[in-house]
Structure 1
């Protein structure tokens, strides 16, 4: 889990976030402890069927693409975060009418961890507590919740 914070008081924010970890029995690591488990990527998602045509258009624009998927009529593009602007520009020039459903730079987990029913309540409490912290901007995790 990566907890992204923006603060004017490091001590207060660290204490609030640490409190969330302690009250839910989680362990807090030092900065960068789990960074290797996530890839910092630009992610674009939109309705479409022909991912090969999209990939070809991006390659013609010299955009580096890590992965492209098409699932249930939605194309998702994963690029290095440094390629965000190049990708967005290439997409808008090639497909001027394209409406992006997702357009962000985020941390994408490289592996998934299943959350069991017995841990689900504690995990939900943990996420709610982090959401209540004013300085927490984003929480990135690799948890897969049971359906």
Structure 2
């Protein structure tokens, strides 16, 4: 393959890495918000706020739905919200 293809491949890999990181971050945030309160965004303000932010980053609906369903299911995973001050 030529250098042109390598340039395209490098740009695509970089972009894919960033988008997957963003999707994973919002998946965890949605899971935590749904787990702490109701999985319904109308009754859970924290979840509603996270969903609005996720939509601004164009997070796919299947990722949002999967995180909410995972929180409803009551799996053994436990994500806690932490804040570090530095």
TM (norm. structure 1) is 0.22
- Which structure dedicates a bigger proportion of its chain to strand? 1
- Which structure dedicates a bigger proportion of its chain to helix? 2
TM (norm. structure 2) is 0.32
Q: Rg bigger for which structure?
A: 1
